[in-house]
Every structure is written in structure tokens, then in C-alpha cells.
Chains A and B, each alone.
Chain A
Amino acid sequence: MPMKARGSHLHSEERRTALLALLPSMAVFLVFTVYPIVYSLYLSLFDVSLLGGARTFVGLGNYIKMFSNTDFRVATANTIKYAVGTVPLGAALSMFVAVLLNQKIRGRTLYRIAYFSPVVTSMVAVAIVWIWLLDPYYGLVNALLGKVGISGPEWLASPRWAMVAMIALGIWKSLGYNMVIFLAGLQDVPVEYYESAEIDGANAWQKFRYVTLPLMRGSIGFVMVTSIIKSFQVFGQVYVMTSGGPMNSTMVLVYYIYRQAFEFYRSGYASAVAWFLFAVILVLTVLQRSLLKAQD
């Protein structure tokens, strides 16, 4: 009897502690994630200004308006262009560097610092530096291109090249992150596999193709998903470098949402676009995860 009393006392103390321990996290979660996501779905059904005033129920009107809006379509197309430009090439390059670094060579630490430094620096800071690098007349990039006889384009002022610059920046900025994920994956590939492949006379490419790649499926999947999601959320570099221009050539979804909500104050319409983005990201995540599960 006293044992039981003590037991239940311990139990209630455990629950009380759990409640208190989770209180701050759950409060933030409810106030800044659950409530906003639900409320933004609600908002997306109204024609309403961010500044307040009357709200008119429009049902799915905002969504219908969205899909027929030219700027929205351009923003979606540009976002996809950015994703297609950054994700596969970025993953391939970081895999290449990771494989090179995954051996006993001198200066590994230095290399890792060099490749990783763009990851830790802020997008705003690097975007400002890149504007200066890409300056058509006084920038480093065109100066170096000039030395080999190429007259560089106007980069951020050119509707043709601005997106290319965005993609290059995106790859440069996240290469180190992907590289680290790949390096962690490569450490898990048993050395014996390579040794037996060598005995079978496999060359470097064959070892990579038939040993490394299949065993790295998990890491590759992770890098692909996170990269696609990140590329759909690209904002800072667009805000700082081009404001979506020139001629909407770098107008991407998140910048479009930002503009609609915080410059034109169309909070209902912007919420609909935000929900569209959320749905796309959700579908991509779930799809990729189930693909990975099916493979295992």
C-alpha cells in the first residue's frame, strides 16, 4: 500500500514535470505555427487587406485568380527554373568534392573550411558581395572574363543572365552543406566493399557507380529533398540582388508572396499563394520519402 502511494506520487511528479517542460515549446508551436497555418488557410478564402478593413468571403476565388495570374505563373516557372538549375548540378558537384575529400589527403580541414564557409555566412552578406562581383563594369567576374577575351554580360541587369547568376549563387552557397551530408554518408560505406571491388578490377568510376552510389541512396535522397525545398523557398538573394527583375526574370514564388502581402497588402490572396507553396513542398517531401522507403 505505501509502495503504491509512493509509485503514484512519482508518476504524478513525472507528468507534472513533463507538462512544465513542454509548456514553452508547445506555446511557441501553437502561437507561431499551428494558429498561423490554420489562420492563413482561413484568410486565403477572403478578399482582405493587410491593413485591416472589410473582409469579403470569396471562397476559392483567390486560388482561381492565382492560377490565371500571369505574374504568378511567371513566378512559378522561375522557381522551377531555379530548382532545376541548382538541384541536380549542385548535388553532382558536392558529391564530386565529397568523394575527393573522402580520402587521406593533406589539408582536408582547410578544404572543408573553404567549401563550407559560404554555408555559414548570411545570404544578405553574400548577395551584396555577389552584386559587386557581378558588376558589369567594375566587377571581378567580368574583369576575369575580359582577361580571357570574353566580354561578360550585364548579369543582374540582363533578363537572360540574372537567373543564371541566381543559380550560380545558389549552388555556391549550398555546396558545402551538401558536401558535408555526403561526406557523412561516405564514412558509412564499408572500406571492404571498395577493396573487394578493387580485387575484381573495378576502376574509380566503376567503384563509384556500383559501390558508392547505391549505398549513398539515403544521403542523396536527403540532399535532393532539402535542396528542392530550399530552392522553392529562395528569397533573400532575390530581394537583395534583383527585386525580382529585370522584367520579372527572377520573380520567384516567395518574393511574389512577400510583394503581394507586404507591398500590396493583399493578405488574402498572398495567403492563397503561400498555401499553394506549402502544398507543393509537402507533396514533394512525402513523395520523396515514400520513394526512399520503397527503395529500401
Chain B
Amino acid sequence: MSTSVSIGDSTQRAARARRTRIVSKVASQTLVHAVLIAGAISMVMPFIWMVLTSFKDIGEVFTYTFKWLPSRINLDGYRDVWSEIPFARMFLNSFIVTTAITVGQLITSALAGYAFARLDFPGRDVIFMIYLAAMMVPHQATLIPSFMLIRNLDMVNTYSALILPFIAGPFGAFLIRQFLLSMPRSLEEAAIIDGCSRFRVLTHVVLPLCKPAMVSLGLFQFMFAWNDFMWPLIVTTKMSMRTLQVGLSLLRAEISTEWPMLMAATVLSTLPILIAFIAAQKQFIESVASTGLKY
């Protein structure tokens, strides 16, 4: 009898302890959510404000009586973007440049990464170290001579000028090399014994295995090329060759009062990246985290 009481007692106590634990856990979780939500709202508020403004009427924008929502969905901004500024051309330029850089990077990085990881040639590791050290060279330090070179080659205002400097880079080669080093070589060796050329091994055996690393690199380059600003600013002078980023920065100075249209242009220019990001957020975030690997 006394034992059964004490057992009941201890189970009751345990239950009470569990309950307090759960209650305190729920309380702390609620607190965590409250903090995280407050933070998240401040992170996305600029985007929300951008979208809300883009639907507003110009009169509603310049008013001292503050209002969150537009009184009606006004699409003037989205219409004017196409007629009042060369938005289509800017978009097309960005699209061409970004696609070319991304595809180029994928090809050159796969080739270089494969050579550094799998092929044996004199000076391989020294060349790789030097190439890798180039990641420390800030873009600004090479800007002036690169521009002079482009100008002397008469390539100002060309797609080549916008694309060529970024068509290969140490980061991509590094990413693919590291990925390959973590993979077993047995499949490739079997293919070589079967008489495959190294190049065929790369295209038929290695590349399909590299898909995750290639996706990472592709997303990263897409983001980088779409958003790049300083180089396109310097090597383009004609509006017809401006990319979105350069065009927007110049338009903002010219049409600084037409906020609904400017916000509409900004919404449209960030849409491709935001859509890609939300669709593939896991890979996107992993791809950025993988840049942390280099240290």
C-alpha cells in the first residue's frame, strides 16, 4: 500500500515536472518565435514597401497622411516602365550577360576543376595555389587596367566586355576540385582502362557526378552576374548596352520623383533572382554556405 502510494506520488511528481518543462519550453519557444518574427519583418519590410509603393498612385506616394496600402491596385508604374525607360533592353542585356557568364563559368570551372583534381601534370599544385590566391585580389585593384585594355581593344559597349572577364574564375575551379576530391575515382579509372579518353571521362562520367556542385556554382554565378554593378557601369556608356543594375542606378538620378515607376522597375529587376531563390532556396543557401568552405 505504502509502496503503491509512493509510486503514484513519484509518477505524479514526474508528470508535474514534465508539465512545467513543457510549459517553460512552450514559453521559451514563443519568445524565440516573437524575436524571430520581429527580425524577419524588419528584413522583408523594404521588399514589402517596394511592392506596395509600386502599386500606388503618384499622388498617394507624396502625401503626409501615411498609409500602408494603396487605395487601389494601380498598374501605371508597371506600364510606364516599358514605355518611358528602355526597360526591355536593359532586361535583355542583363539576361544575355548573366546567361553567358553562368554557362561559361560552368564549362571553364568543370574543365579546370577536373584538371586540378584528377590530372597529373608538372606544377599542378603550385599553379592551383597561385590561382586560388587570386581570390584575395579585390576587383577594384584590377579595374583601371582592365578598363584600359577593353578600351584599347575597342570593346567598350560590347557584350564581350561585360562577359569575358567573368567567364572563368578561381572560385568555380576550387569548388569543382574540392567536390571531385571527395568522390571515389573507381568509375573514372574503369572508364580509362576501357580506353576512354580523359575528355570523354570528364563529359560522360565526371560531369553527371558533379551535378550538385554544378548547381551550386550555377546559382551563385547567376546571382553574382545578375547583380554585378561596378564593372558594367564602367564599360558601358550607351543606354542600349546598360544592364539592369546600371540602368536603374542612372534612372534613379533622372526620374527620382516617380517612385511608383521606379519601384515597379526595381520589383521587375529583382523578380528573376527572388523567384529562383524561393524555388531553390535550399540549394541557394547551401551554395552560399559552400563559399565558407574555402577557409
Closest-by-CB residue of A relative to B294 is A222
Enumerate chain B residues within 8 angstroms of A26, measured Cβ to Cβ. Answer: 127, 131
Given contacts A15-B120, A18-B115, A267-B148, 13 further A-B contacts (CB under 8 A): A17-B115, A17-B198, A22-B115, A25-B169, A121-B274, A125-B266, A140-B45, A176-B43, A218-B295, A233-B140, A236-B249, A258-B230, A261-B147
Q: Are B198 and A13 in contact (CB under 8 A)?
A: yes
Q: Is A29 an interface residue (CB 8 A)?
A: yes
Proximity bits, B134-153, A CB within 8 Å = 1, else 0: 10111111111111110000
Q: Residue A100 at the B interface, CB < 8 A?
A: yes
Q: List 23 A-B contacts (CB under 8 A).
A: A15-B121, A17-B197, A18-B120, A21-B114, A22-B111, A29-B170, A39-B148, A103-B32, A123-B227, A132-B259, A140-B49, A172-B42, A180-B292, A181-B289, A181-B292, A225-B295, A229-B138, A236-B229, A257-B143, A261-B143, A267-B148, A270-B144, A274-B144
Stretch of B60-68, B71-79, B80-88, B179-187 at the chain-chain interface: B60-68
Give A124 to B42 CA distance when docked, in angstroms: 19
Q: Which of B32, B145, B285 contacts A40 (CB 8 A)?
A: B145
Known contacts A120-B273, A132-B53, A181-B289; decide if A109 and B281 are in contact (CB<8 Å): yes
Contact present for B64 and A36 (CB under 8 Å): no
Chain B residues near A211: list those with CB within 8 A: none
Instruction: State in angstroms the CA–CA spacing of A235 and B229 once bound together.
Output: 9
Q: Which residue of A lies closest to B172 (CB)?
A: A25
**Measured between alpha carbons, how far is A129 from B43 in the docked complex, in Å?**
13
Q: Is B248 interfacial (CB-CB < 8 Å)?
A: yes
Chain B residues with Cβ below 8 Å from A181 are 289, 292
Please determine whether A37 and B142 come into contact, CB atoms closer than 8 angstroms.
yes
**Contacts of A14 on B, CB cut-off 8 Å?**
119-121, 198
Query: Which of chain B's residues have a CB closer than 8 A to the CB of A124?
Result: 227, 229, 245-246, 248-249
A28 & B168 in contact (Cβ 8 Å cutoff): yes
Interfacial chain B residues near A129, Cβ < 8 Å: 46-47, 49-50, 263, 266
Within residues 32 to 68 of chain B, which ones have a CB less than 8 A from any CB in chain A?
A: 32-33, 35-36, 39-40, 42-47, 49-50, 53, 61-64, 66
Segment at the interface with B among A62-70, A111-119, A159-167: A111-119
Count residues of A near B (Cβ-Cβ below 8 Å). Answer: 103
Seen from chain A, the residues whose Cβ lies within 8 Å of a Cβ on chain B are: 10-11, 13-15, 17-22, 24-29, 31-37, 39-40, 43, 50, 97, 100-101, 103, 105-107, 109-133, 137-138, 140, 143, 146-147, 172, 175-177, 180-181, 183-184, 218-219, 221-222, 225, 229, 232-233, 235-236, 239-240, 254, 257-258, 261-262, 267, 270-271, 274-275, 277-278, 281-282, 285, 289, 292
Chain B nearest Cβ from A276, distance in angstroms: 10
The reply to whether B136 and A282 form a contact with Cβ atoms under 8 Å apart is yes
Are A278 and B141 in contact, CB atoms less than 8 angstroms apart?
yes
Cα(A25)–Cα(B111), bound, Å: 9
Q: Is the CB of B32 within 8 A of A100?
A: yes
Report, nearest first, the 7 A-B pairs whose CB atoms are least far apart.
Answer: A122-B227, A36-B142, A36-B145, A114-B40, A21-B111, A278-B141, A21-B115
B61, A138: Cβ atoms closer than 8 Å = yes
CB-CB contacts below 8 Å: B120-179 with A: 120-121, 124, 127, 131, 134, 136-149, 164-165, 167-170, 173
Chain B residue contacts of A140, Cβ below 8 A: 45, 49
The distance in angstroms between the C-alpha atoms of A225 and B274, with both chains bound, is 27
Shortest C-beta distance, A60 to chain B (Å), equals 18
The answer to whether B43 and A138 have CB atoms under 8 Å apart is no
* Residues of A contacting B295 in the complex (Cβ-Cβ under 8 angstroms): 218, 221-222, 225, 289, 292
- Report if A111-B143 is in contact (Cβ < 8 Å); known contacts: A25-B131, A129-B49, A278-B137: no
Number of A-B contacts (CB under 8 A): 269
Q: How far is the CB of A103 from chain B (nearest CB, A)?
A: 8
Flag if B108 contacts A25 (CB, 8 Å). yes
How far apart sit A172 and B227, CA to CA, in the bound complex (Å)? 17
User: Once bound together, how far apart are the Cα atoms of A143 and B131, in whole Å?
Assistant: 51
CB distance A40 to B234 under 8 Å?
Answer: no
A41–B68 alpha-carbon span in the complex (Å): 53
For the complex, what is the distance from the CA of A292 to the CA of B118, rounded to whole Å?
A: 30
Q: Which of A132, A257, A277 contacts B49 (CB 8 A)?
A: A132
Contact pattern, B 260-285, Cβ under 8 Å of A = 1, otherwise 0: 00110010011001100110010011
CB-based contact A37/B45 at 8 Å: no
Nearest residue, chain B, Cβ from A116: B285
A275 to chain B, nearest CB (A): 7
In the complex formed, the residue of B with least CB distance to A28 is B168
Check if B273 sits within 8 Å of A24, measured CB to CB.
Answer: no
Give the distance in Å from the alpha carbon of A275 to the alpha carbon of B140 in the complex.
9
Interchain nearest-CB distance for B179 vs A (Å): 16
The residues of B that contact A132 with a CB separation of less than 8 Å are 49-50, 53, 259, 262-263
Q: How far is the CA of A96 from the CA of B288 in the complex (A)?
A: 19
> In the docked arrangement, what's the CA distance between A161 and B285, Å?
33
Question: 1/0 per residue B228-243: CB within 8 Å of A?
Answer: 0110011000000000
Q: CB of B191 within 8 A of chain A?
A: no
Question: Please, how many angstroms separate the alpha-carbon atoms of A124 and B232 in the complex?
Answer: 12
**A240 neighbours in B (Cβ, 8 Å):** 249, 252
